[in-house]
Structure 1
Amino acid sequence: MAVACDSPWAMVAARVPSSPESSNTAVPSPFFDGLLPETAAFSYVSMEEPPQIRTIPRSTCPLCEGRGVELHGNLRDVLYGAPGCWGFLRCENPRCRLIWLHPTPVRQDIGLAYRCYFTHPESFESPGLSARLRSRLYAGYQCLLRGLDSLFGLGSARDALERRHLDPRSRGRLLDVGCGDGSFLYRMQQQGWQVTGIDLDPQAIAAARQRYGLELVVGDLQSARFASGSFDAVTMNHVIEHLFDPRETLQEVRRILRPAGLLVLVTPNPDSMGHQRHGAHWFGLDPPRHLHLFPPATLRALVEQAGFRVVALETTAVHADIFWGASRSIREARRHHRIGPLPQKVRPLRALRAALERYYEHVQLRRHPLAGEETVLVARSDAP
């Protein structure tokens, strides 16, 4: 799946790809109810009786084989109506603490987790009057945030996340795994990078090729078989939580990176303030699409085991307004037994509340630096 922008709003509906490696995805904001970038257009396909997703139990940790204890249970996909009842286990090994989906969809059926919706740009058509109004409100909201970001000291963190923590002076060959609509790659190309993207979603790739003329590949990373040492940097923005075997993917990333090449990961942080506040309704859980959730220390250990040297690890509140607002909407949907996209209503007060929560979390990070909604990890492939 993809939307015509690669922005913070590309996470509002759980980074919902048509597959585990399609990450630059968006749907209407469930808390701001439709305030979208002007180029965004969406279609929704609902199935009255979607086929059931076959599952396998996973009671032991996929990373360390420790015993799992229930963290959340009896969860249903209220945003998109994927069938099934889901839960999350946490590894009881204090040195691991991985969180994983239980039961887990079988690989052959994972596409059903994305089948109840499709979020492709409709040929980038001009939106109608109401969509244009929402676009202007969205633009105004973004301008307000940028002004407040400067006041609260969040501007530099936002800018760094938008460029995936790549040094603005750096150049070289860049691969974005789960490139979606390709807008991030286009921006980096304008800054002098030689860019390549890969995504399992053929419609997203086709739209990106048509709009930007980028070099993009349809498929998964392992099957692409890029030559060893092909890239100076690889970015994975909200991808690793969708993968069946994240360790295998990280090993493949290390193979295709040049010596001292850079890996940048962004993923939901289950140790966040939002998860503590909203519990089973936290937006970052997103069952059954998120198969693994990594506390910061767990993510560091996994990346180091794959042969990388971690050079930076932090959490951020840049998108906390999205996480907190969407979590509140998920809670409301479950309370009222709703399934599917929420009504497209403009609710500025709700958006303002979420924005204030964003700044509150950012300030709290000074005391609790690992409590942001997202973890950002930067590593190099030169580990001994």
Structure 2
Amino acid sequence: MSQSLSCPLCGAREPEHYHRDTRRDYWQCRTCALVFVPPDQRLSAEDERAVYDLHENSPDDFGYRRFLERLFAPLSERLAPGAHGLDFGAGPGPTLSLMFEEAGYPMAIYDPFYAPDTAMLERDYDFITATEVVEHLFDPGHELERLISLLRPGGWLGLMTQRVISQQAFVRWRYTHDPTHVCFFSEATFHWLGDRLNMHVEFPARDVVLLQKQF
């Protein structure tokens, strides 16, 4: 089967089989190290939306704000006053965008299900955030390249996603239990992405990565 599979991030073919649980297979790209679920084992768009509709994230939830602070704090430290941002994949209860607006950073939001205004993807930004988003992407190579193309020189892409540590840890990893999680990044994957797209890469927290577009 590996001969018919290609990596959704870099396009390389013939990945290695990485793991199988009771529901799905996981393959790892030999080039960029992305671990991914094959297309025929992903949810339909309708079933995916049904899972997202169960989310109860809210700007009024202090615990959720504290969770988002792990990205908000290190990213805001790197931004010029009044920098303009985009929250990509904002979900049904946009909160990170509100946190940035409260701190003086004008924000746009985009979400394919809940805020599908594609005009937001035709502007330039000083920074873009995507919290708990990249693990859901069916075509992360295309989506990440598109987001980076929207950044002005020196702009930041801030991502929150749990990272693959090892094959042994992956077997016990609860992060794979969510059926909408189909792509799993490691530090090696983000370093590959940084080299590929000329981005400086930083890891300020265990589930946060910041990529800066070079001038």
TM over 0.5: yes
| 3-state SS of paired residue (1:378) | strand
Aligned AA (1:284): Y
2:8 pairs with 1:97: no
Instruction: Give yes or no for contact 2:42–2:182 (8 Å, CA) kept in 1.
Output: no
Instruction: Give yes or no for contact 2:108–2:120 (8 Å, CA) kept in 1.
Output: no
Segments of structure 2 that go 5 or more residues without pairing to the other structure are none
1:268 and 1:243, CA in 2 relative to 1: closer, same or farther beyond 3 A?
same
Segments of structure 1 that go 5 or more residues without pairing to the other structure are 1-56, 76-84, 125-134, 147-156, 203-217, 317-373
Cα deviation for residue 381 of structure 1 reads: 2.2
Q: Which residue of 1 aligns with 2:203?
A: 313
Q: Which of the two has higher C-alpha Rg?
A: 1
Cα deviation for residue 227 of structure 1 reads: 3.5
1:61 and 1:247, CA in 2 relative to 1: closer, same or farther beyond 3 A?
closer
Aligned AA (1:219): P
| 3-state SS of paired residue (1:200) | coil
Given the two structures, how large is their TM-score scaled by the length of structure 2?
Answer: 0.77
Matched residues in 2 for 1:256 and 1:169: separation?
A: 16
Q: 2:148 aligns with which of 243, 250, 254?
A: 254
Matched residues in 2 for 1:262 and 1:169: separation?
A: 8
Question: Which one has the bigger strand percentage?
Answer: 2
2:136 pairs with 1:226: no
Q: Which residue of 2 aligns with 1:68?
A: 15
Deviations 1:145-172 (A, max 9, x none): x9xxxxxxxxxx9954343622176331
| 3-state SS of paired residue (1:163) | helix
Instruction: Give yes or no for contact 2:159–2:210 (8 Å, CA) kept in 1.
Output: yes
Larger RCO, structures 1/2 (Cα 8 Å, 6+ apart): 1
Bigger shift: 241-250 or 111-120? Answer: 111-120
How do 1:207-356 and structure 2 match up within 5 A? 218-219=115-116, 223-224=118-119, 226-228=121-123, 230-271=124-165, 276-277=168-169, 279-305=170-196, 307-316=197-206
Matched residues in 2 for 1:285 and 1:312: separation?
A: 24
Instruction: Give yes or no for contact 1:308–1:381 (8 Å, CA) kept in 2.
Output: yes
Q: Which residue of 2 aligns with 1:177?
A: 88
User: Number of paired residues?
Assistant: 207
What fraction of aligned residue pairs are identical, expressed as a percent?
Answer: 23
Instruction: Give yes or no for contact 1:90–1:98 (8 Å, CA) kept in 2.
Output: yes
Aligned AA (1:166): S
Pairwise CA RMSD of aligned residues?
Answer: 3.5
Deviations 1:108-161 (A, max 9, x none): x2331443673255999xxxxxxxxxx9xxx8xx7xxx9xxxxxxxxxx99543
Instruction: Give yes or no for contact 1:86–1:287 (8 Å, CA) kept in 2.
Output: no
